[in-house]
């Protein structure tokens, strides 16, 4: 007996991939509308994959953990105070603070090496850090909400929640990054 | 069963893999910054499809990694590098999806680029989307099989280790493919 059917995998995955592509194209659209900022500070381009990639990784891990906890009955699908939910969000939050501090510090070093003053390098470092914290907070909320919805509707979290969360994460990451940079460099 | 959330263990485990991912993402960012000319001047609509192409790679390979993880744990696929029928179906589906979805992203980006009034080089954009999607798809499919088997044998958690690692390596390989093909396509 064949366990996997090619047709079934294609049929189930393609629509989700297209929905995600359309959401992520929103992130591309935001980027393409801000070419002035990018020309003024090309380093923005270097910040895009890290802010999106890390945001998506952190929230994918949270999504997978929540899906397992929901299926094992350790979390109820509601936003009220629950120990296991709180533990998971705290862990996710601490991880993001740690990894984004690390990344921000690297951007500080890169800015300094590429000939910017200490003051401007610090400003860029903080802009990246604050943008990533705002992006991750919103994406985490979406992850929790989508995990609950998919659990209640019986959708597979691996195939639905994580792809959609990463696409929302793309928009949040790019938007927060560009707003933060606009505030600090004024272009 | 008493289930305790060990915040400290999650954070320590997660952070080590995330720091590695951050370094790989920085390399991808470096490639993207080097493409500034193509992204803003020569092929201005190209930037629109970078987030969806990176995201697509993570989605297809994340799903492949999670199916392989389940298949390995349930014994449907054996942890050996041999082509079983199940492995073939999984690989074929991820490659067909890479092709179909990258083509869709290419077409949508061309449409969006035209709508927002950017100069659109239809052939160049479609060629970049499809070939970057398929080339990175082939490399990543092979890597995913390898990493899934290794991580199964070593007992790494597929959710916390394999999936983030594959998504991140996928970003770098996709960025490099886009970069090289954009140079070739002029």
pLDDT string in tens for chain A (187-residue length): 456 788 888 888 899 999 999 999 999 999 999 988 999 999 999 999 999 999 999 998 898 888 888 888 888 888 888 888 998 899 999 999 999 999 999 999 999 999 898 999 999 999 999 999 999 999 999 999 999 998 898 877 667 888 899 999 999 999 999 999 999 987 6
Residue A112 lies in a domain: yes
Residue A181 lies in a domain: yes
B110 touches chain A (CB under 8 A): no
| Total beta-carbon pairs less than 8 A apart between chain A and chain B | 232
ipTM of the complex in this document: 0.89
- The verdict on a CB contact (< 8 Å) between B5 and A95 is no
Domain containing residue A117: 6-185
What's A175's domain CATH number? 1.10.357.20
| Minimal-distance CA residue of chain A relative to B164 | A57
Residue A27 lies in a domain: yes
Report the residue from B30, B54, B167 with minimal CB separation from A57. Answer: B167
| Minimal-distance CA residue of chain B relative to A33 | B116
Please give the pLDDT value at position B88.
87
Q: How many domains would you assign to chain A?
A: 1
Give me Rg for the CA atoms of chain A: 19
- The verdict on a CB contact (< 8 Å) between A14 and B100 is yes
Residue A95 lies in a domain: yes
User: Which chain A residues touch B56 with a CB distance below 8 Å?
Assistant: 17, 20-21, 24
DSSP letters, A99-119, are: HHHHHHHHHHHHHHHTT--HH
- The verdict on a CB contact (< 8 Å) between A166 and B108 is no
Residue A1 lies in a domain: no
Q: Which domains does chain B have, with CATH numbers?
A: 7-184 (1.10.357.20)
């Amino acid at each position: 007996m064949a366990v996997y059917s090619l047709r079934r995998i294609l049929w189930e995955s393609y629509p989700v991939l297209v929905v995600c592509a359309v959401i992520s194209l929103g992130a591309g659209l935001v980027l393409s509308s801000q070419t002035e900022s990018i020309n003024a500070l090309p380093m923005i381009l270097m910040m895009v994959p890290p802010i999106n990639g890390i945001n998506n990784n952190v929230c994918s891990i949270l999504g997978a953990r929540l899906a397992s906890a929901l299926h094992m009955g350790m979390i109820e699908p509601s936003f009220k105070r629950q120990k296991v939910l709180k533990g998971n969000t705290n862990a996710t939050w601490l991880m993001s603070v740690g990894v984004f501090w690390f990344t921000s510090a690297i951007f500080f070093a890169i800015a300094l090496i590429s000939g910017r003053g200490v003051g401007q390098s610090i400003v860029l470092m903080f802009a990246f850090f604050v943008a990533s914290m705002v992006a991750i907070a919103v994406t985490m909320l979406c992850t929790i909400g989508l995990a609950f919805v998919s659990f209640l509707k019986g959708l597979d979290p691996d195939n639905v929640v994580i792809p959609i969360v990463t696409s929302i994460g793309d928009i949040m990451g790019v938007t927060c990054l560009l707003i933060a940079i606009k505030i600090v460099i004024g272009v | 069963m008493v289930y305790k959330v060990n915040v400290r263990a999650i954070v320590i485990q997660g952070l080590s893999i995330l720091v590695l991912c951050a370094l790989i993402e920085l390399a991808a960012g470096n490639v993207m910054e080097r493409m500034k000319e193509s992204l803003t001047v020569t092929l201005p609509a190209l930037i629109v499809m970078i987030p969806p192409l990176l995201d697509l790679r993570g989605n297809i390979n994340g799903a492949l990694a999670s199916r392989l993880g389940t298949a390995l744990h349930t014994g449907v696929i054996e942890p050996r590098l041999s082509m079983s029928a199940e492995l073939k179906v999984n690989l074929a589906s991820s490659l067909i999806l890479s092709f179909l979805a990258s083509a869709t992203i290419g077409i949508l980006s061309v449409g969006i680029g035209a709508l927002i009034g950017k100069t659109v080089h239809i052939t160049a954009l479609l060629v970049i989307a499809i070939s970057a999607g398929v080339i990175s798809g082939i490399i990543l499919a092979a890597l995913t099989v390898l990493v899934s088997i290794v991580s199964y044998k070593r007992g790494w958690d597929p959710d916390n280790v394999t999936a983030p690692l594959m998504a991140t390596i996928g970003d770098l390989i996709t960025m490099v493919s886009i970069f090289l093909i954009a140079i070739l396509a002029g």
